[in-house]
C-alpha cells in the first residue's frame, strides 16, 4: 500500500515524500516581473514538500495575465530567480517553475498589448489589472504563422528556468489560459490546423510540450491539465476523447509527469489515470472551490493509482504542511484576503505548528 510519506523517484529527483505544493499565484513579484528575497523565503519555508511547483511565471510579456506576477523571459528575471531556487535547495527541497501564458486572460493595462488567443472570443468575467478589475477585453486571434512564436516562448522560458536553477518546468495547460483555450471548443473557433477536430485542438499543447522537451529534456518537463474545467468561460466538448487523444500524444514524449485537477467526474479522471503510462500528480479538489485537499483525499487517490498528490491553499497558511499531515496535527485555516494583497503579511507570517508541553505540577 502506497503511503503519502513514502519516497518517490521522479526522473533524477529523489522525492522524500509524495506531497506536492501546487502552483498558486501570490502576486508578490517586483517591478519588471522580478522575483524577490521574500519569494525566496516563502518557497524555502515550504521545502519539506516532495516537490514545489512555483506560481505561474509568464514566458513573455504578452503572456502575462495578472499584474505583480514574475517572468522568465529576460536576463534580469532569470537572475532574480537564482536566490529563490538556491534557498529551496539549501533547505533540501526541489522546485519546478510553472510556465503560464495567459492568452486571452489579460489586459492592455497590465501588458501594454492587446491579449492574444486562438480566436477573437473574450474570456468571461473581469480580469485583474493595475487599475482594479476590468471586463476581459477582446483578444486578437493569432495568425497561423504566429502560433510557432508562442509555442517557442515556453521553450525559451524553460531554458531560462533551468539556467535560474529550477529542477524542471510545468506547462500550465489548465484553468482557461492559453493552452486550455486551444483545447476548448468555444474559445477556439479556428478553421486551420489548430482548430476544429480533436487532433487539431490538441496540436498547440503537443507542440508546446514537444518544444519544451527539446529545450530542457523530458525528465524536466510536466504539464498541468483541468479536464472539463470551465474557468474564464472555456468549454470542452468530448472531454474523455479530447484528453485521451492528448495523453496518447504526450505519452510519446516520456514526460516527468502530468498534473490533473479534480475538474470532472472521478470516473473520467480514473480513465485518464489508466491511459497515462507515466507519473500522475493528482490535485483532488476544484481550484478555488469550497473544499481544500485533505489527507483522506490524498489517500483515496493514492489508492486509485496516483503517484503524487498536490495540495494548494493548505500550503499558504501551513509552511510545515508535510509534518502536520504526517503527525495528524491541526491544519491552520487560510486567510482568503491574504492571497493577492501583496507584502509579507499573509505571506511570510504563517508559523509552523507550536507544540506545547503540558504543565507539570510539583507534589
Active-site residue, from 177, 194, 243, 257: 177
What is the full per-residue pLDDT of the chain (363 aa) written as tens digits? 789 999 999 999 999 999 999 999 999 999 999 999 999 999 999 999 999 999 999 999 999 999 999 999 999 999 999 999 999 999 999 999 999 999 999 999 999 999 999 999 999 999 999 999 999 999 999 999 999 999 999 999 999 999 999 999 999 999 999 999 999 999 999 999 999 999 999 999 999 999 999 999 999 999 999 999 999 999 999 999 999 999 999 999 999 999 999 999 999 999 999 999 999 999 998 776 767 889 999 999 999 999 999 999 999 999 999 999 999 999 999 888 889 989 999 999 999 998 765 655 655
Cα separation, 304 vs 56, in Å, equals: 28
**Grid cell listed for 360:** 507539570
Q: Which of 13, 15, 12 is nearest to 4 (CA)?
A: 15
Please indicate whether residue 73 is annotated as part of the active site: no
Three cell numbers at 159? 531554458
Burial zone of 177 (CB within 10 Å; 0-12 exposed, 13-18 middle, 19+ buried): buried
Give 359's DSSP letter. P
DSSP 70-136: -BSSSHHHHHHHHHHHHHHHHTT--EEEEE---TTS--HHHHSS--EESSS-PPSSEEP-TTS-EEP
In the block, cell 472555456 appears at 234
Amino acid at each position: 500500500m502506497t503511503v503519502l510519506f513514502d519516497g518517490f523517484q521522479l526522473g533524477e529527483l529523489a522525492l522524500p515524500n509524495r506531497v506536492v505544493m501546487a502552483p498558486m499565484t501570490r502576486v508578490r513579484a517586483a517591478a519588471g516581473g522580478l522575483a524577490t528575497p521574500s519569494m525566496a523565503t516563502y518557497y524555502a519555508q515550504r521545502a519539506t514538500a516532495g516537490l514545489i511547483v512555483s506560481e505561474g511565471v509568464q514566458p513573455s510579456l504578452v503572456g502575462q495575465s495578472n499584474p505583480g506576477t514574475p517572468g522568465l523571459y529576460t536576463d534580469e528575471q532569470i537572475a532574480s530567480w537564482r536566490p529563490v531556487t538556491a534557498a529551496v535547495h539549501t533547505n533540501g527541497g526541489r522546485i519546478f517553475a510553472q510556465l503560464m501564458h495567459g492568452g486571452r486572460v489579460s489586459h492592455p493595462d497590465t501588458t501594454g498589448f492587446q491579449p492574444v488567443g486562438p480566436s477573437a472570443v473574450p474570456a468571461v468575467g473581469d480580469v485583474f489589472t493595475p487599475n482594479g478589475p476590468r471586463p476581459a477585453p477582446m483578444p486578437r486571434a493569432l495568425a497561423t504563422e504566429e502560433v510557432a512564436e508562442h509555442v517557442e516562448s515556453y521553450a525559451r522560458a524553460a531554458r531560462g528556468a533551468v539556467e535560474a536553477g529550477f529542477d524542471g518546468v510545468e506547462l500550465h495547460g489548465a484553468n482557461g489560459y492559453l493552452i486550455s483555450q486551444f483545447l476548448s471548443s468555444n474559445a477556439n473557433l479556428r478553421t486551420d490546423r489548430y482548430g476544429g477536430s480533436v487532433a487539431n485542438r490538441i496540436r498547440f499543447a503537443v507542440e508546446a510540450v514537444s518544444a519544451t522537451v527539446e529545450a530542457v529534456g523530458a525528465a524536466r518537463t510536466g504539464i498541468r491539465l483541468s479536464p472539463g474545467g470551465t474557468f474564464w468561460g472555456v468549454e470542452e466538448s468530448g472531454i474523455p476523447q479530447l484528453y485521451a487523444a492528448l495523453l496518447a500524444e504526450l505519452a510519446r514524449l516520456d514526460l516527468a509527469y502530468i498534473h490533473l485537477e479534480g475538474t470532472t467526474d472521478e470516473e473520467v479522471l480514473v480513465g485518464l489515470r489508466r491511459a497515462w503510462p507515466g507519473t500522475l500528480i493528482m490535485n483532488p479538489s476544484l481550484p478555488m472551490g469550497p473544499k481544500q485537499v485533505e489527507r483522506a483525499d490524498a489517500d483515496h487517490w493514492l489508492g486509485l493509482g496516483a503517484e503524487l498528490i498536490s495540495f494548494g491553499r493548505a500550503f499558504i497558511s501551513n509552511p510545515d504542511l508535510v509534518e502536520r499531515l504526517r503527525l495528524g496535527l491541526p491544519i491552520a485555516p487560510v486567510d482568503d484576503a491574504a492571497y493577492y494583497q501583496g507584502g509579507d503579511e499573509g505571506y511570510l507570517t504563517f508559523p509552523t505548528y507550536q507544540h506545547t508541553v503540558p504543565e507539570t505540577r510539583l507534589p
